[in-house]
């Protein structure tokens, strides 16, 4: 019951019918992204996910990673699987051809990345961090650093990490204490970082750490943080790994999930100081790191979606196979998928998974447009949409994964609570997605503070207008529910803008419920668009009639069972902060 079959049909439907793949393929640099090429990429990626990565998922969970001396040892098979990804060019899909990438749209790469995450979340975390580091280096590093590091990172020959958190700092990066001192053309880095995903391993010939540190004369707070590239091995003149840098793994964490992903405590500069190279400008490191962090936020939201898909697939298989009970008025025992309550849970899983996919892929499409469109105004519009969707993808999709993976266990009944079925692993793995790369509260605060209140709600109002135009299209039965949900999100937005400045605690008290309201409504919008597109395909006589009919039915279920949650989110988001802040600290 631990098999995985990539939902290629649904991925292609979302890409073509909802996310504008055909138009993206006309953008400068994307001309080769034809439907035929994309179909081939997805089909081959699906084979690799199912045949190579999926069998290692359970192995990784049970064996885990471990430290021996200064080395991290991984479960059997992980090295060979990573090499298949790298040797097959799978890690270079989206990157700049100037440095060896294939230059395909993010919308295409996202579908492939979803497959890796569904098949084996622990292993997929390694290329996820490398991908974000590549974005940061390309955007901010010197030409010399780009030439020296990007080709090997893009090929997968080397990997990369993100080093932000410290024991005393957590998410408060203003408290970072790692030190950097100038020394000629480089810097010496000294300090300790925690929760460093894939901070040490033997999969690649070198590991490139992007490290936040503070110069001796830096101003206090986040305005005094710089970003440094710190390689595990200092490259020789010919680019091969040379002398070992002054850094090491101290330990790895024993975690609830993602057991095969080594989460490391890293020590820099216990002897002479680790050699590091400045990325961007001194004291401007956080702005540089945000390039990597934003990429990772979308990537983690994608992980939430991927685990929803994996849990749903296993729950369907089990529900069809498990015989228990009988239907009202009948004597014959039936598979539990016949029972209405099991179907309710399966539909909750299916509807939310498909909604998350559509929302996540919409963010990828926005990224492609704002990075590659020729028109400046169009780029700005899509960038604003991408920025608005980023905390929703990260926050909402990962919160949804908590519910969906939990429902997967519930459908299994007692067997879901038994590790051997595999259902519990998805639930355990999903739990971290609401925490790393910024907790749900941080995403909600970003959405409310930076993305809604900062521009007076302009970006949100633009999106609400688009949702209304879809809600006005009749004939499906979900129009009233979607229209009402849009009204509720608009009301919550108005309330925030009116009250967020007077009550200092109001934005924080409202932010989680506002995020969940926004995600629920945006998900409903995408499901409505799915139904309209599916009907269009049916009318045109496209094959796979059952798939399109299921799309329409699933959209209706979303409207009936999930959009009503918007009312509760609205009420909680607009009640104010009085009851939230009522107790004194000692009363807890």
Of 385, 559, 572, 558, nearest to 484 by C-alpha is 559
Judge contact between 487 and 479, C-beta under 8 A: no
Of 121, 117, 153, nearest to 135 by C-alpha is 153
Alpha helix ranges (H) inside 141-193? 143-155
Sign of the alpha-carbon dihedral angle for 62, 88, 307, 434:
positive
Sign of the alpha-carbon dihedral angle for 447, 448, 450, 454:
positive
- Residue 204 phi/psi, 5-degree rounding, is -125, 160
| Contacts of residue 43, Cβ cutoff 8 Å, sequence gap at least 6 | 8
Q: What residues does 228 pair with on adjacent strands?
A: 211, 278
Judge contact between 169 and 205, C-beta under 8 A: no
Q: What 8-state DSSP symbol labels residue 51?
A: I
DSSP line for 238-291: TSSEEEEPSEEEEEE---SS-TTS-EEEEEE-SSS-EEEEEESSTT-HHHHHHH
Cα 391–Cα 301–Cα 291 angle in degrees, nearest 5: 60
Catalytic annotation, pick one of 437, 479, 491, 586: 437
Q: How far apart are CA 58 and CA 421, in angstroms?
A: 10
- Identify whether 437 is a catalytic site residue: yes
Judge contact between 33 and 24, C-beta under 8 A: yes
| Residues marked as catalytic | 437
């Amino acid at each position: 019951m631990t098999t995985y079959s990539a939902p290629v049909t649904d991925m292609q439907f979302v890409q073509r019918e909802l996310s504008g793949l055909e138009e993206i393929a006309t953008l400068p640099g994307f001309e080769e992204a034809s439907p035929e090429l994309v179909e081939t990429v997805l089909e081959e990626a699906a084979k690799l996910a199912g045949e190579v990565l999926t069998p290692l998922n359970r192995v990784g969970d049970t064996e885990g990673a471990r430290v021996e001396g200064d080395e991290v040892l991984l479960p059997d098979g992980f090295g060979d699987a990573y090499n298949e990804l790298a040797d097959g060019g799978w890690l270079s899909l989206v990157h700049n051809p100037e440095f060896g990438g294939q230059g395909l749209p993010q919308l295409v790469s996202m579908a492939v990345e979803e497959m890796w995450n569904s098949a084996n979340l622990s292993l997929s975390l390694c290329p996820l961090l490398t991908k974000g580091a590549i974005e940061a280096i390309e955007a901010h590093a010197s030409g010399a650093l780009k030439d020296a590091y990007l080709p090997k990172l893009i090929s997968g020959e080397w990997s990369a990490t993100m080093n932000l958190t410290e024991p005393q700092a957590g998410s408060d990066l203003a408290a970072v204490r790692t030190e950097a001192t100038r020394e000629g053309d480089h810097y010496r880095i000294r300090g300790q970082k925690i929760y460093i995903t894939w901070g040490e391993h033997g999969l690649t010939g070198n590991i490139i750490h992007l490290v936040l540190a503070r110069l001796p004369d830096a101003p206090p707070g986040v305005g005094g943080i710089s970003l440094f590239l710190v390689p595990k091995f200092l490259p020789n003149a010919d680019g091969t790994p040379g002398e070992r840098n002054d850094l090491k793994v101290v330990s790895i964490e024993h975690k609830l999930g993602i057991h095969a992903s080594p989460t490391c405590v890293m020590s820099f500069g216990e002897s002479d100081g680790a050699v590091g190279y400045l990325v961007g400008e001194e004291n401007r490191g956080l702005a540089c790191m945000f390039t990597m962090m934003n990429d990772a936020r979308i990537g983690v939201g994608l992980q939430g979606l991927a685990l929803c898909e994996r849990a749903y697939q296993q729950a369907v298989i089990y529900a069809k196979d498990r015989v228990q009970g009988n239907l009202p008025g009948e004597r014959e025992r039936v598979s539990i998928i016949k029972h209405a309550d099991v179907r309710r849970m399966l539909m909750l899983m299916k509807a939310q998974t498909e909604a998350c996919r559509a929302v996540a892929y919409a963010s990828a499409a926005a990224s492609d447009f704002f990075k590659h469109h020729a028109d400046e105004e169009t780029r700005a519009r899509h960038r604003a949409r991408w920025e608005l969707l980023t905390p929703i993808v990260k926050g909402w999709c990962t919160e949804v994964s908590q519910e969906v993976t939990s429902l997967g266990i519930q459908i299994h009944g007692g067997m879901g609570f038994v590790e051997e079925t595999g259902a519990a692993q998805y639930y355990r793995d999903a739990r971290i997605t609401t925490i790393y790369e910024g907790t749900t509260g941080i995403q909600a605060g970003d959405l409310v503070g930076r993305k809604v209140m900062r521009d007076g709600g302009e970006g949100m109002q633009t999106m609400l207008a688009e949702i209304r135009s879809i809600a006005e299209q009749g004939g499906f039965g979900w129009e009233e529910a979607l229209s009402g949900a849009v009204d509720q999100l608009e009301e919550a937005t108005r309330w925030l803008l009116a009250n967020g400045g007077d009550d200092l605690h109001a934005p924080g008290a409202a932010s989680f419920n506002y995020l969940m309201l926004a995600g629920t409504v945006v998900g409903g919008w995408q499901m409505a668009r799915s139904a309209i597109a599916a009907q269009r395909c049916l009318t045109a006589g496209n094959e796979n009639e059952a798939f399109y009919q299921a799309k329409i039915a699933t959209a209706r279920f979303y409207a009936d069972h999930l959009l009503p949650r918007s009312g509760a989110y609205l009420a909680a988001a607009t009640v104010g902060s009085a009851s939230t802040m009522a107790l004194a600290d000692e009363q807890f």
